Amino acid sequence: MRPIRNQPSTLGLASGTAGMLARKGSSQVSGEESQMSGEGGALTRREMLGMLGAGGAALALGGCGGSGGARVDESAPEWRRYAGTTLNFISENTAPTAAIVANLAPFKQLTGIDVRVVQLELAALVQKVALDFAGGEGAYQVIYADPYQILAPYADALADLRQFADDDKLPGLEDPNDFFPTQMDAAGRFVDERVLALPYDAPTMIWMYRTDLFDKHAERMEQDLGFDPRPSADSTWEQFYATSKWFRDESDDVPFGHGNMAKQHDSLMNDFSNLLWAYGGDYFEDGQKVGRIGVTEPGEPLLDSPEALEAADVYRRLVEIGNPGSVGWDWTGLAEGFMAGGMAMAPLWHEFAASIEDSDIKGKVGYAPLPKGPKRRACMYGGCGIGINGTAPKAEQEAAWLFVNWATSPDIQLSNLKSETGGGTPTRASVYRVPEVKRARQPPSDLPNVLTTNAVFEAWLPENIGLRPKIAAWNECDTTMFTQLSKMLAGQQDPERTMREAKRGFVRAIDTAASLARA
Amino acid sequence: MGAVAAPKTATAGPRDAPAPKRRRRGLSFEGRLMAPALTVLALLSIFPFLYIVALSFSRVGLLGGISLEWAAFDNWTRLFSDGAVGASWLRSVVYFVATVGLEMFLGVGIALLLHEIVRGRNVLLSALLMPMFMAPVIVGLLGRFLTDSTYGLYAWVLRETGIYTGEILGGTTAAFVAVTLMDVWQWTPLITLIVLAGLASMPKSVIEASSIDGANYWSRLRHIVLPLISGVLIVALLIRSMDAIRYFDIITNTTNGGPADATKTIPIRLYETGFRFFDLGYAAAIGLSMLAVSIILANVFMNQLKRRGLAK
């Protein structure tokens, strides 16, 4: 009676509809249609609506589908095996990704692969990735894997990159030892030996200061303060505090000595953590391991230790004398305040150097590692890797490997550094040895981010790097930390209560994450 | 036998008496007409609602596809014992009263002024309505820009005049006032528009009669105008209340709940629980509590309208 309905069903709605659409254009379709007409006349309205509905649904599903599958040419050279494939790369809207987006043509020429890049703010990125993992569709094959918000909680959904690096059919990784070891561990691993991401960017907090103002007042400051205020290997947070106060009280060049990124935001946790570690506190026992490799069971938080309380108190005092805008600033707000002349110095992500050297204070800024505390110097590392979605089809994962490999290669890291569109700082040590890059370490520089090289090299040393805990519950722990700190800065609670409440929040968050992981 | 006899009776029926209507099996004609719409509604609304109810009684795992593990009343127990959520509800109530109260007061005031203006009313009204047509997210970004202590115009004016020298979005009270005023700025025009429509529909004869009887402006407003437009006011209140409960965009773009949680209203808490911590079971419980409050509020207003005979 109804030949179309009697067709054997194929692969679900989409392929069934695709088959239906294909048949429309073929002679066989004409035969079936005429047969239908002969038996029962034209399609009924219901049938037509049904077909249109199915077609619409198939189109909608197809639209959600993303890449449309990888194409594999087994006989092609290793870089050309997946020519014709389209990959989706989801990334935070960072300078390195802006540079990659502007420089995708060479990748297309090399591989024949199209890459669609979705750039989002970090919070939105984390949501999209988590929902993509939950859906299991692998819509984004290449993922900007924040070590704390994506890599740790969703490690099992990311592919182990060693399988691709060791695959003879695929191009291997160019000198894996060229990555900085701390970055390779912090951005790429979680708990075990698997490599889940390759270091892609490396923002690190350093001390930025106005050289013109320090030079102008150095002598007088030294007399007043009893120490040389210019940043050095021996500079301490107490000296930072005294210097800031001096600028506020004694200088008319800037209204305040320093600023902080103390908004109720991830930035506040980053800003505070530098002092927490410097004063000997930590989030968990064996904090360096928890930060560098990550753990599944971090144990009891140490936030109520005397060192942590002291760090909280110092931080509170520091923010009190700084630019009052600090409590409303995240890192971007602080950088803008610094560039607008609102302070003489600031702890900031080193990648802001590019913006600073393009602002009114161009050439007037020095870059140094953060001051040290009684225990050590700690410079928060905020680098991320790029990984491959383990829920994507295998061939797409292999195509994604080509992109991950290419984007983190020394050549591309160098070209990103030179990009006029974006920037970032290379995660490959060899790039810093390129003569042109070495020359750019001194001002005037065409590569402003390289001006920070001495500072970040010092900051990346294992004893100086600041690594926040890499645990599955970090999103909630982070929120707890910056919320409690914000309450302290608002004068609602003292440092002791702040850290006690933070500890309680950490315990609750870890318990919740554990119970969700079991679900 | 009866079964055989029945058709006979039925056959004789048309001549002797009207045939009883045959009861049709399945959906009526109207039912069939509505079926597609109801199916879509079920897919878009009822099924997600039931799913959220199920989520609220579960621990939700995300990896490898969404998985639900029965958690009994854990999420609901937590909801009623969570001090942070209670504080967010309290903030939402304060925020609700402040925004809706200010919007009603200003909206009615501006509408009364515009109602008195004859020349250029449309131009003024068009200009006044502009904020309403902006996306709330843009209002949030604009507000953040204008209140930024480095380059914000409002921050500069307040600082130069000595009214407020701190960081507007960095102070607990200042930030709360700022996000409240941003909402008031955007949505007061809606109240004005609704009230203006109510004023335009007032019977002129009643107003003229009260003038002839010697009523001054204020007594006319109190005893004639406001009672006449009270139904419209309740509708405006209802619309804005539903919006105020789920106020999200401006806060998330300006303070994101800070400082010190001063602007963390319940929608921000819900978003944080669901899409930052991915505790979807607990987020579902919070969301359902918001739905319950919205329904209660809507019923309160609807009862008011019914009492005035303005709704069935």
Average pLDDT over residues A305-331: 97
Tens digits of residue pLDDT in A114-153: 999 999 988 889 999 999 998 888 899 999 999 999 999 9
Tens digits of residue pLDDT in B253-303: 999 999 999 999 999 999 999 999 999 999 999 999 999 999 999 999 889
List the single residue in B61, B62, B167 with the smallest CB-CB distance to A325: B167
CA distance A133 to chain B (A): 6
Average pLDDT over residues B209-227: 90
The neighbour count for residue A314, using CB atoms within 10 Å, is: 21
Contact A265 B256 (CB under 8 A): yes
Contact, A259 vs A342, CB < 8 A?
A: yes
pLDDT above 50 for A27: no
- Residues 6+ positions from A312 with CB-CB distance below 8 Å: A272, A276, A485, A488, A495, A498, A499
Provide the pLDDT for residue A17: 30
Q: Which helix (H) or strand (E) holds B217?
A: helix B217-220
pLDDT above 70 for A156: yes
Contacts of B171 in chain A (CB under 8 A): 327, 490
Provide the pLDDT for residue B306: 85
Is residue A343 classed as helix, strand or coil in its secondary structure? coil
Which chain B residues have any C-beta within 8 angstroms of a chain A C-beta? 58-69, 148-151, 165-172, 175, 255-262, 272, 275-279
Contact B149 A325 (CB under 8 A): yes
List the single residue in B59, B150, B258 with the smallest CB-CB distance to A516: B59
Contact B258 A336 (CB under 8 A): no
Residue A21, CA distances (Å) to A59, A183, B131, B218 in order: 11, 51, 47, 71
> Which residues of chain A from 11 to 30 reach within 8 Å of chain B, CB to CB?
none
Contact B149 A492 (CB under 8 A): no
Average pLDDT over residues A219-248: 96
Type of residue numbered A1: M
List the single residue in B62, B170, B256 with the smallest CB-CB distance to A325: B170
Structural domains in chain A? 86-202+383-433 (3.40.190.10), 205-380+457-518 (3.40.190.10)
Classify residue A71 by its DSSP letter: -
Quickly state the pLDDT bin for A42 (edges 50, 70, 90). very low
Contact B259 A126 (CB under 8 A): no
Is residue A407 classed as helix, strand or coil in its secondary structure? helix
Token output for B181 = 């005023």
Tens digits of residue pLDDT in A465-487: 999 999 999 999 999 999 999 99
Provide the pLDDT for residue B21: 56
- Out of A18-27, B41-50, B147-156, pick the least confident: A18-27
Quickly state the pLDDT bin for A389 (edges 50, 70, 90). very high
Structural domains in chain B? 29-72 (no CATH), 82-307 (1.10.3720.10)
Average pLDDT over residues A358-369: 95
Q: Which helix (H) or strand (E) holds B174?
A: helix B172-200
> Which residues of chain A from 472 to 491 reach within 8 Å of chain B, CB to CB?
475-476, 479, 483, 486-487, 489-490
Helices B172-200 and B136-147, packing angle to 10 deg? 130
Quickly state the pLDDT bin for A70 (edges 50, 70, 90). confident
List the single residue in B68, B256, B276 with the smallest CB-CB distance to A264: B256
Provide the pLDDT for residue A385: 97
Contacts of A154 in chain B (CB under 8 A): 62-63
Contact, A381 vs A204, CB < 8 A?
A: yes
Q: Cβ of A342 under 8 Å from any chain B Cβ?
A: yes
Quickly state the pLDDT bin for B62 (edges 50, 70, 90). confident
Tens digits of residue pLDDT in A99-119: 999 989 999 999 999 999 999
Average pLDDT, chain A: 87
> Which residues of chain A from 98 to 127 reach within 8 Å of chain B, CB to CB?
123, 126-127
Average pLDDT, chain B: 89
| Residue that wins the pLDDT comparison between B309 and A29 | B309
pLDDT above 50 for A63: no
List the single residue in B61, B150, B165 with the smallest CB-CB distance to A516: B61
CA nearest to A275, candidates A302, A240, A241, A312? A312
Tens digits of residue pLDDT in A196-205: 999 999 999 9
Q: Indicate the pTM of the whole model.
A: 0.84
Contact A328 B170 (CB under 8 A): yes
| Residue that wins the pLDDT comparison between B189 and A515 | B189
Contact, A386 vs A200, CB < 8 A?
A: yes
Provide the pLDDT for residue A157: 94
